[in-house]
Every structure is written in C-alpha cells, then in structure tokens.
Amino acid sequence: MNLLLDIALLALLLVTAISIAWIKDLFAAAMLAGIYGLLSAGFFMTMGAVDVAFTEAAVGAGISPLLILLTLALCGRYQRADRNRARLAIALVATVGALLVTATVDMPSFGDANAPAQVHVAPHYIQESMREIGIPNIVTSVLASYRGFDTFGEVVVIFTAGLGVLSLLMTNAAQPLRIMQPSPVQQASRDIVLRVVAKVLIAPIMLYALYVQFHGEYGPGGGFQAGVIFAVGFILYSMVFGLDAVRKVASHELVQLLAAMGVLIFGCTGLLSLANGKNFLDYSALAGDPVTGQHIGIIAIEIGVGITVASVMIMISYLFSAQLRDREAELAIKGTPSYADDTTGGEVSRGLSPLQTLERGAG
C-alpha cells in the first residue's frame, strides 16, 4: 500500500512539474507550484520526515505562492514565448537530471543500516538526546542544540537575503514606502467574501503559529515553520485589506528592527553561554541543571528564529507591495495599462488590491 502511495505521489509530482514548465500562464504556474509543495509535503510524510513535511507545507505551499503572486502583480501574468531559451532550459535540466540520476548509483540503499548517515553521529543523537537535552523531539534537539551553529548560520542567511531584497528594491524606487493617497495596493478588496473569510482565518493562523512556535520541543514545528505561518497571516491581511492597513499593525521600520533582533537574540544566547564558561551555544551553562539550561536556550533561540523568519517574509511582501503601488500609481497618471493587467484585455487596474489585480487577470 505504501509503495502504491509513493508511486502515485511521485507521478503527481512529475505531472505537476512538467505542467509548471509547459504552461505559459504564470498565475496558473504559481498555483501549480503551491500544489507541488503540498504533494512534496505528502511525500515527505510517507517517508516519515514529519518536520521536513511541515516545513515544505508552510514554505512550498504557503508563503512561496503568495510571494510569487505579488511578483506577478508587478511583472505580468503571461510569459513571453522564447523558443531558444526554452530549448536551452530543457537541455540544462536534462543534463543536470542525468547527472543526479548517475550520482544515485553510488548512494547506499534507502534505509541501509550501514549507511554513513546511520553510523556516524545519528546513533548518539537517538540514544543520548533525551538524557542530554531532555526533549522528546529529536529533530529539535539536533537543529537547535547539537547543530546550533548550522541553524545560526541559516538564520543569518535568511536575514542577509532580506537585506539583499531590501537594498535592491529600495534602490529601484526613491521612496518605495511613502504614504500616498488612495492607490491600487492601499485600497481594500471590495469582495465581501474575501474580507469576511480573511477576518475569520487570520486569528486562527496567528494562534496556530504560536502553537507551532512553542510546541516544537514536543512535536513537529519550531521557529522556522512558525515564522512562515505568522508571516502568511500578515501577507493575507495585506493582500485583502491593503498595504497601509497592515502597516498600521506593524510598520516597515518595526519589521526591519525585529528581523535584526531575532538574529541578535540567537547570537546573544551563544554569547551568554561563553560568558558562563561554556562553548558558544552550549545552553547547559544557562542554568544550574544542564537539561534545564538546554530547555531555556532552545526556547530562546527558537523565538529568535521565528522573529527573524517572520519579519524577513513580511518585509519582502511590504517591499513588493510598495513597488506595485508605486508602479500602478505612476501608470495610472500616465494613462497606460499596468503590467499586472491581462495582456488580452487592455484594461487598466485602478483602485485594486494585489489580489483583485490578479483576480481580474484570472477572469
């Protein structure tokens, strides 16, 4: 039964991937990308990688399609045909795919007890995690404590990526986050169904994010997943009610500050360990009982991870929405169609939120 399920999921993944590469409607491709992420999460579930499945569902099926939709609102819905580039892409994908398939020949069989991954440090993690760290979720023990350096590096990479997007988009617009009179992104969606559904969903989304944040020691979850889920709530609010509405809740300056603060919390936790005579990110120094210290340190760094991930995702959505607002306002003044319009319709989108702009193109 499991084999049939794996084959079905892999077949659906293959069909979805081919459809994404083949289709010219980028809006449909964004939706298919979300489906691909959901199918991948299901496949990871069948493999027993629950934490990975959770992350893929939150990122691949959650935040990524939303950010892609914001991008499409800027660059347009339909892809220009370029057969030469398509042939080059197909050749590149075929070459890389062949190399990957060839590389799997030297890999140990799936589940091989003598594989390097099973005989190196994994036995220590499995046998000693509960005694040394004191939490049931071994994945959290590994990521937050045993491999704390790696996780700290990942958080710094996310923060750096956010700074890169910030610098690029701030360079392309003189005042990308200024307050303007009614404009496409600022105005709320006029669809009463969307407004009501968003109001109903946003509070449970935030509550679930908090649950995932503080339940990561006992089950799938943690700062990465919680940060993404928390950001989805803000992005949904922005897409339905407008950019300025969500910025009244969390200003762009506050989001930037929180993005840096999350990294600072993580780093200061490690420095506090050093100050108490232990190694960097050795949380046993944070309390008299080493296990209690591990609990305190993991909670602290997971909060830092969640704050940074959520803030960076929200900051990127703010920047894209501000770019769309300025672009729409400029084109409306000139009286020319926006890039977000349906290229076959020739209408100008005025007074619409990003979601409405894409809805019009989807119609």
pLDDT in tens, 54-71: 888 888 888 888 888 878
Predicted confidence at residue 98, as pLDDT, reads 92
70's tokens: 């914001």
pLDDT at 190 over 70: no
Tell me the pLDDT band of 303, cut-offs 50, 70 and 90: very high
Rounded Cα distance, 169 and 323, in Å: 8
Reference 132, options 340, 350, 291, 10; nearest CA is 291
- pTM, two decimals, is 0.79
User: Are 295 and 214 spatial neighbours (Cβ–Cβ below 8 Å)?
Assistant: no
Predicted confidence at residue 121, as pLDDT, reads 85
Rounded Cα distance, 267 and 159, in Å: 13
Q: Which helix (H) or strand (E) holds 242?
A: none
User: Are 10 and 4 spatial neighbours (Cβ–Cβ below 8 Å)?
Assistant: no
The model's pLDDT over 325-350, given as tens digits with 9 standing for 90+, comes to 777 777 777 765 554 444 444 333 44
Predicted confidence at residue 350, as pLDDT, reads 42
**Which percentage of the chain shows pLDDT scores above 90?**
23
Residues 202-226, mean pLDDT to the nearest whole number: 88
Rounded Cα distance, 308 and 143, in Å: 16
**For residue 139, what are the CA distances in angstroms to 4, 129, 228?**
28, 10, 18
Reference 270, options 286, 281, 285, 284; nearest CA is 281
Predicted confidence at residue 189, as pLDDT, reads 54
User: 127: buried, middle or exposed (CB in 10 Å: 19+, 13-18, 0-12)?
Assistant: exposed
Three-state SS letters, 204-221: HHHHHHHHHHHCCCCCCC
Predicted confidence at residue 339, as pLDDT, reads 46
Three-point CA angle 239, 58, 194, nearest 5°: 30
Tell me the pLDDT band of 151, cut-offs 50, 70 and 90: very high
Place of tokens 């990871």: 44
Rounded Cα distance, 27 and 75, in Å: 11
